[in-house]
């Protein structure tokens, strides 16, 4: 069996090299052979920059075909690809640099941040790494990798407020890609509408690998907008999205049955989709969204079936090679009983980068990973998710950890204490909301400004609610559930 993911992806397009891989509606189209040539040239350029096998390359760039080629180059050359949200602030980026110790950081020409290690840029012909790469022959050889070798490292935030790097192996990514490709029935005449960011598992691995395993075309949108999706849909057969995408599409009068009737598949994940959105989508399009469940540490874990009943409110069955169980403490739950979701299988990550303790805490002795999600299995093995063990908010498919924001707010002189809570939001699913006890003169605008320097904009509270006291239990712990209940309709008139 091939051990380098790049080799697997390239081999699948051997007979279709002249077919279009990435087509940008307003930009260029790249064939498979052009993309592999670019990645080969980037791989040479990485070598020229002194990057060595096993090193980390940290990439903080807007979505582009260059970024996809660079990702493939990293796989081919055997270096660990570490993608960052391009909205990351300098503070956040410096944390990632210190933690990951990359030998190279790749950013865009517009990025003004001072990078403390070697850095190059991509995205334009004149960008430094593009210029270097285009002057070099394409590397053809593929670095041999062992099953357990890390292909990519993606940061997930944590309850402590400090993100951890989840190490994803070549083997894990290959297994998950193969399983999804199979169960979702991908084929070469599929055209995938890609409107997701490519610094997450969803947009980078799930979407791209599924298409690449059939050497299918990908309509590569710079970002999700309702109009760009509506324009691209007639040429597509599959779309992968987050619930916010489907909420926004369903609300647009140009999004209708006629536009969607040829579509083979709409999938949704990264955040729970309400039954209301499932129904609204079905009413408008006549299509039933296939909801699936995944996480950075494991890729996709469960999926509703392609053929067979898709049930709104459940995330379907465990993927064929994934063991899934529900536990309460050390006891296995019976079907219908609610407990923690635990999983085991080849798709799993190999641990958190340089966090042996956190890694050990996340695994059971028998190799099951404790997801932190709460759910139950029905008698047929369908999983329904009912909440989370950890204090985490999912806003528009982005995981946001309250602790990180609370630490920043509590450090400000005008705030005595804060509690960050996710409240139901019709567009984002949950919206970050700050409950604060103020001290002296409080100005929301000033607080926003201060936060902007430290945390990426999508994590900023959408509303600040000033309170006299925060509800606490007898142990003194803030009762966020009481805030969630009392303020549950804060955004409903939004
Ligand atoms: C952007 N903003 C947000 C979010 N995104 N605020 C809250 N939550 C968000 N998710 C803010 C920006 O900071 C900005 O603030 C303002 O909204 C406009 O930015 P823009 O980029 O134009 O926003 P948007 O286009 O409306 O973005 C919303 C979005 C996007 C399309 C839903 O967030 C998105 O593509 N989400 C998908 C995330 C995803 O792929 N997650 C997968 C991870 P200001 O105006 O103040 O500057 S989970 C995963 O990978 C696992 C494996 C899985 O199961 O899938």
At what angle are helices 65-77 and 32-48 packed, to 10 degrees? Answer: 60
Kind of pairing between the strands at 164-169 and 238-241: unpaired
203 CB under 6 A from ligand 1? yes
For residue 264, give the nearest of 238, 292, 246, 286 by alpha carbon.
238
The number of angstroms, rounded, from the C-alpha of 57 to the middle of its chain's C-alpha atoms is 18
The Å distance, Cα 249 to ligand 1 centre, comes to 15
The Å distance, Cα 49 to ligand 1 centre, comes to 33
Joined tokens for residue 303: 């999926």
96-125 pLDDT, tens digit per residue, is 999 999 999 999 999 999 999 999 999 999
Percent of the residues in the chain that have a pLDDT greater than 90, as a whole number: 93
Instruction: Answer whether 0.85 is exceeded by the pTM.
Output: yes
Centre a 10 Å sphere on the Cβ of residue 478 and count the other Cβ atoms it contains: 18
Query: CB of 278 within 8 A of CB of 250?
Result: no
Section 280-288 average pLDDT: 97
Overall residue count recorded for the chain in this entry: 494
Percent of the residues in the chain that have a pLDDT greater than 70, as a whole number: 99
270 CB under 6 A from ligand 1? yes
Residue to probe by mutation, ligand 1, list 393, 431, 458, most atoms within 8 Å of CB? 458
Say if residue 494's pLDDT is above 50.
Answer: no
Write out the DSSP string of 252-312: STT--HHHHTT--EEEE-SS---HHHHHHHHHHHS---EEEEEETTTEEEEE--SSS---T
118-154 pLDDT, tens digit per residue, is 999 999 999 999 999 999 999 999 999 988 899 999 9
> Angle 134-136-141 (CA atoms, 0-180°, nearest 5)?
120
The Å distance, Cα 224 to ligand 1 centre, comes to 9
- The residue ranges of every structural domain in the chain are 1-391, 392-486
Section 244-254 average pLDDT: 97
* Number of Cα atoms under 13 Å in the Cβ half of residue 405: 28
Work out the pLDDT band at 221, boundaries 50, 70, 90: very high
Residue to probe by mutation, ligand 1, list 299, 397, 424, most atoms within 8 Å of CB? 397
314 CB under 6 A from ligand 1? no
Rg (CA), the chain: 22
Work out the pLDDT band at 162, boundaries 50, 70, 90: confident
The Å distance, Cα 477 to ligand 1 centre, comes to 30
What pLDDT is recorded for position 251?
A: 96
Choose the CATH number for 392-486 among 3.40.718.10, 3.60.9.10, 3.30.300.30, 3.40.190.80: 3.30.300.30
Tracing tokens 């991908």 back to the chain, one arrives at 186
Element (H, E) at 400: strand 398-400
Contacts of 493 (CB under 8 A, 6+ apart): none
Residue to probe by mutation, ligand 1, list 180, 205, 396, most atoms within 8 Å of CB? 396
Section 7-34 average pLDDT: 95
Centre a 10 Å sphere on the Cβ of residue 259 and count the other Cβ atoms it contains: 17
63 CB under 6 A from ligand 1? no
Work out the pLDDT band at 475, boundaries 50, 70, 90: confident
The Å distance, Cα 473 to ligand 1 centre, comes to 34
Residue to probe by mutation, ligand 1, list 166, 457, 460, 464, most atoms within 8 Å of CB? 457
85-95 pLDDT, tens digit per residue, is 999 999 999 99
Section 402-420 average pLDDT: 94
Query: CB of 119 within 8 A of CB of 132?
Result: no
197 CB under 6 A from ligand 1? yes
Q: Is 327 left (phi over 0), alpha (psi -120 to 50) or beta?
A: beta
For residue 344, give the nearest of 359, 324, 364 by alpha carbon.
324
Joined tokens for residue 232: 């691209």
397 CB under 6 A from ligand 1? yes
The Å distance, Cα 245 to ligand 1 centre, comes to 10
Separation CA 77–CA 79 (nearest Å)? 6
Contacts of 114 (CB under 8 A, 6+ apart): 90
Choose the CATH number for 1-391 among 3.40.50.12780, 1.10.260.30, 3.50.50.60, 1.10.1060.10: 3.40.50.12780
Query: CB of 21 within 8 A of CB of 35?
Result: yes
449-458 pLDDT, tens digit per residue, is 999 989 999 9
Name which residue sits closest to atom 16 of ligand 1, judged by CA.
458
272 CB under 6 A from ligand 1? no
395 CB under 6 A from ligand 1? yes
> Who has greater pLDDT, 475 or 190?
190
Say if residue 155's pLDDT is above 70.
Answer: yes
Contacts of 440 (CB under 8 A, 6+ apart): 413, 414
What pLDDT is recorded for position 2?
A: 67
């Amino acid at each position: 069996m091939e051990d380098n993911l790049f080799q697997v992806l390239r081999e699948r397009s051997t007979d279709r090299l002249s077919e279009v891989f990435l087509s940008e509606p307003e930009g260029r189209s790249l064939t498979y052979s052009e993309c592999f040539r670019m990645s080969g040239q980037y791989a040479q350029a990485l070598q020229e920059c002194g990057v060595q096998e096993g090193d980390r390359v940290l990439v903080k760039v807007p979505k582009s075909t260059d970024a996809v080629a660079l990702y493939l180059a990293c796989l081919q050359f055997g270096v660990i690809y570490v993608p960052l949200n391009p909205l990351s602030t300098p503070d956040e980026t410096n944390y990632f640099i210190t933690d990951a110790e990359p030998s190279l950081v790749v950013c865009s020409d517009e990025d003004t941040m001072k990078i403390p290690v070697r850095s190059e840029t991509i995205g334009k012909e004149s960008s430094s790494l593009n210029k270097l790469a285009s002057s070099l022959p394409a590397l053809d050889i593929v670095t041999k990798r062992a099953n357990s070798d890390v292909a990519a490292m993606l940061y997930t935030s944590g309850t402590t407020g400090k993100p951890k790097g989840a190490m994803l192996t070549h083997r894990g990514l290959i297994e998950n890609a193969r399983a999804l490709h199979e169960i979702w029935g991908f084929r070469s005449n599929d055209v995938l509408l890609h409107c997701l960011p490519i610094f997450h598992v969803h947009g980078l691995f799930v979407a791209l690998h599924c298409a690449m395993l059939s050497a299918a075309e990908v309509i590569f949108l710079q970002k999700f907008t309702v109009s760009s999706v509506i324009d691209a849909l007639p040429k597509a057969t599959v779309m992968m999205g987050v619930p916010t995408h489907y909420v926004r599409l369903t609300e647009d009068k140009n999004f209708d049955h006629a536009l969607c009737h040829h579509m083979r598949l709409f999938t949704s994940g990264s955040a729970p989709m309400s039954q209301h959105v499932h129904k609204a989508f079905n009413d408008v399009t006549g299509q039933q969204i296939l909801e699936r469940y995944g996480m950075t540490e494991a890729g996709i874990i469960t999926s509703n079936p392609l053929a067979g009943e898709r049930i709104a409110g459940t995330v379907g069955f465990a993927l064929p090679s994934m063991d899934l169980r529900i536990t309460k403490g050390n006891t296995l739950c019976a079907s219908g009983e609610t407990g923690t979701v635990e999983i085991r299988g080849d798709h799993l990550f190999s641990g958190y980068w340089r966090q042996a303790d956190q890694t050990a805490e996340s695994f059971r002795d028998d190799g099951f990973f404790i997801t932190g999600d709460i759910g139950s299995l029905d008698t047929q093995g369908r999983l329904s998710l009912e909440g989370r063990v950890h204090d985490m908010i999912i806003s528009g498919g982005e995981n946001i950890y309250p602790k990180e924001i609370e630490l920043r707010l509590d450090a400000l002189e005008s705030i005595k204490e804060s509690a960050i809570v996710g409240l139901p939001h019709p567009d984002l699913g949950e919206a970050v909301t700050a409950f604060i006890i103020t001290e002296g003169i409080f100005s929301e605008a000033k607080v926003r400004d201060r936060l902007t320097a430290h945390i990426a904009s999508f994590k900023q509270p959408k509303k600040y609610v000033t309170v006299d006291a925060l509800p606490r239990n007898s142990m003194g712990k803030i009762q966020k559930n009481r805030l969630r209940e009392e303020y549950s309709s804060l955004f409903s008139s939004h």
